[in-house]
Structure 1
Amino acid sequence: MNVIDLRSDAVTLPSREMLESMMRAELGGDLLGEDPTVRELQELAARMFGAEDALLLISGTQANLVAMMAHCRRGDKVILDSKAEIYRCEVDGMVSIAGLAPMPIEGSKGTFTGDQVRQAAKALDSDASSLGLLVLENTHHHAGGTCWTPSQVADAAQAAHELGLKVHMDGARVFNAAVALGVPVSDYMRHVDSIQFSLSKGLGCPMGSILVGDSDFIDVARNRRGLLGGGMRKAGAIAAPGIVALNTMVDRLSEDHANARRLVDHLEVLEEIVIDRDSVQTNMVVADISATGMTAEAFVAKAREKGLMVSVLGPSTICFVTHRGITEEDVERAAMIVESVIPACRSGVCYI
């Protein structure tokens, strides 16, 4: 049985060109700054973002933690959205390794305003000096792949900078946001102090993330990466597919976005599947399945039996993520499987 995997774009497989680039990569000692392929990737990323410098890391989790450690002192507080990936999935490292305290605020579809940042600072009263960082997530995973616009980023970042905070963007999927909005990623970089983006999600690389910022920040980040055991030797084999990805895979993301909208077209005819179409801005579709009478875990398990893999986002919400390798035919079949999982196919529109 051909299984359609819509759990995450992190399952995207590298292209043949990426795999071949790993074999051809010129290697050197990255710890000494002498790996030419790593240098080429970092210079390319810095140019794309309009940043002074960039740093290759193993994962987005490591990149975010390194950024927080580079920007903050132990004991500092970090303002971020209450549903942010860093808060929901990476908070242990923030607290136990970096020694930072999260200050979650309630956003709307993953975004919040400069006034909300000021209000969060005001709530600390005399302890406001302990604020160190504002974190934005773009696109926002748990909001369903929603985008921050550059103007929204500018508003929140201005408030943070007025308060003396640095601003970091967890931009694991920032290229999805840029493609969806038709803006260059440099439009985000001009407002913030650092951005990390993933090479291994929609861009399709086997592994790796990039952190971009000014030269002084990257120097400190390189030190913090070493403290976490992240220094690498002949890392050109990791960097080579990243160069391919940045040159060939960014514009292709629009295909994933089109497939996500196509999936919504198929699913929204089902009364038991509730989707907020306005939130489907990139390659994610979040569906409320409470009307089916099933839990998300039960629904996901049943779908898997039929050849569709999706992820649980909440007790009654599931998430579909389109990516390279998913075709229009896969999207149509996925919708048919979802229909067949609904008990007694209660909508009466059954395809199967």
Structure 2
Amino acid sequence: MIDLRSDTVTKPTPGMLAAMIASSVGDDVFGEDPTINELERHTAALFGHEAGLFVPSGTMSNQIAVRIHCRPQDEILLETTSHICLWEAGGAAALSGATCRTIDGRFGLLDVADFEGKIRPDDMHSVRTRLVCLENTHNRGGGTISSPEALNGITQWARQHGLATHLDGARIWNAIVATGVPARTWGQMFDTVSVCFSKGLGTPVGSALLGSKELIAHARRIRKLFGGAMRQAGFLAGACLYALDHHIDRLAEDHANAQLLAAAVAAVPDLKLTPPKVETNLVWFEVSERLGTARAVANRLKSEGILVAALGERVIRIVTHLDVTREQCEKAAAVIRSLGR
């Protein structure tokens, strides 16, 4: 079975497993796990921040960021289809008492003009606009990349208005490889950055929240509150350090494989790429009524040995990753093309 549902389905490589086994560990709650400490320092430095915090998931990383930036009755400005808004179980409201004010983007992309007039008045009847959250690359937007210029314009605007900024960079590694823009350039624009190790980089578990020493000290307390503090987690950090050394540059292979699959989708009249241009490792497309529902098409592909994600009545997502080869993607592309016959 060729699994194209998500880049979270990967298994550790032999080299990664060896690195995990060889990792030195200690009790991270006591701050005594040397591999965790190394990962946090290294990742923070990579993105131009003072400190980092290892957490089990990207959702927890984002929600810790919301909690340290917001109080109850605060408001977050973010894109309508962003992960924090759609796919984190209402965490901003449930865990931080914050509300989300959504802004419609163009396949997830925003620029500074979209934020003009969005700050609430200083009035007891209104929530307090407090935080801007951006996502890069943008999952529901189709793996689209926000340019450094667009992000810089938005974060400068936020700073001028006294707003905090957070980047959901679950797939920022893909943006780094696709654009050649270094991690530090992306990271230094934001007060906090969340990065994920268990998507494109292929580790079994883990994300990191990056920021100033003061913010990360606060985040450490919130991680404990949310149940994310772990003990001998250095084995997981060892996988992340290995991935940082060995799995970033190879993301270009995933992008090339996504182009191959996107071309197959584009060749079928009853399928429509959304967005029409695939930039990274995500291929989203709509299914026409003639072919049936997305679930029906997904089941048809499954019968041919291809797993995809039906994420709406007529929406399918394909994701390339470490565990699918070029040969497998060529096979999947042939099966997709057969949908048009």
TM-score range, shorter chain: over 0.9
Q: Deviations over 1:105-125 (max 9, x none)?
A: 111121112222232215x57
Paired residue for 2:10, among 4, 9, 12? 12
Partner of 1:168: 166
* Counterpart AA for 1:209: S
TM-score, normalised via structure 2 length: 0.96
After TM superposition, give the deviation of residue 142 of structure 1 in Å: 0.5
Partner of 1:47: 45
**CA contact under 8 A between 1:266 and 1:332: conserved in structure 2?**
no
Moved more, 284-293 or 28-37: 284-293
Partner of 2:261: 263
2:289, 2:278 → 1: CA distance? 20
1:231, 1:273 → 2: CA distance? 44
Q: Deviations over 1:73-123 (max 9, x none)?
A: 12210111110011111142111111111111111121112222232215x
Judging by fraction of residues, say which structure has more helix: 1
Moved more, 105-114 or 331-340: 331-340
Q: CA RMSD in A?
A: 1.6
Paired residue for 2:132, among 116, 134, 148? 134
**CA contact under 8 A between 2:122 and 2:128: conserved in structure 1?**
no
Q: Does 2:310 align with 1:312? A: yes
- Poorly superposed stretches of 4+, deviation over 4 Å: none
Secondary structure, counterpart of 2:52 in structure 1: strand
1:309, 1:106 → 2: CA distance? 30
Q: Deviations over 1:148-180 (max 9, x none)?
A: 111111011111112211000111000101111
After TM superposition, give the deviation of residue 140 of structure 1 in Å: 0.5
Secondary structure, counterpart of 1:42 in structure 2: helix
Paired residue for 2:213, among 212, 215, 223? 215
* Counterpart AA for 2:91: G
Partner of 1:101: 99
* Counterpart AA for 1:338: I
Counterparts of residues 199-278 of structure 1 (less than 5 Å):
199-276=197-274, 278=276
* Counterpart AA for 2:198: S
Q: Deviations over 1:282-323 (max 9, x none)?
A: 001111211543111111122112211111233212111000
1:336, 1:292 → 2: CA distance? 20
* Counterpart AA for 1:68: V
2:126, 2:152 → 1: CA distance? 21
Partner of 1:74: 72
Paired residue for 1:303, among 296, 301, 309? 301
After TM superposition, give the deviation of residue 325 of structure 1 in Å: 2.1
* Counterpart AA for 2:4: L
The sequence identity of aligned pairs, in percent, is 37
After TM superposition, give the deviation of residue 267 of structure 1 in Å: 2.8
Paired residue for 2:109, among 108, 111, 117? 111
Secondary structure, counterpart of 2:185 in structure 1: helix
After TM superposition, give the deviation of residue 181 of structure 1 in Å: 0.8
The 3 A distance-change label for structure 1 pair 301 and 235 is same
1:22, 1:236 → 2: CA distance? 8
Partner of 1:56: 54
The 3 A distance-change label for structure 1 pair 104 and 269 is same
TM-score, normalised via structure 1 length: 0.93
The 3 A distance-change label for structure 1 pair 16 and 314 is same
1:211, 1:49 → 2: CA distance? 11
2:304, 2:147 → 1: CA distance? 38
* Counterpart AA for 1:270: V
Partner of 1:143: 141
1:216, 1:252 → 2: CA distance? 34
**CA contact under 8 A between 1:145 and 1:279: conserved in structure 2?**
no
Moved more, 80-89 or 126-135: 126-135
Counterparts of residues 331-342 of structure 1 (less than 5 Å):
331-340=329-338, 342=339
The count of corresponding residues between Structure 1 and Structure 2 is 340
The 3 A distance-change label for structure 1 pair 146 and 336 is same
Gaps of 5+ in 1: none
Partner of 1:197: 195
Partner of 1:290: 288
2:267, 2:261 → 1: CA distance? 11
**CA contact under 8 A between 1:114 and 1:160: conserved in structure 2?**
no
* Counterpart AA for 2:215: F
Q: Deviations over 1:203-236 (max 9, x none)?
A: 0001000111111111110011011111111111
Secondary structure, counterpart of 1:109 in structure 2: coil
Secondary structure, counterpart of 2:223 in structure 1: helix
After TM superposition, give the deviation of residue 277 of structure 1 in Å: 6.3
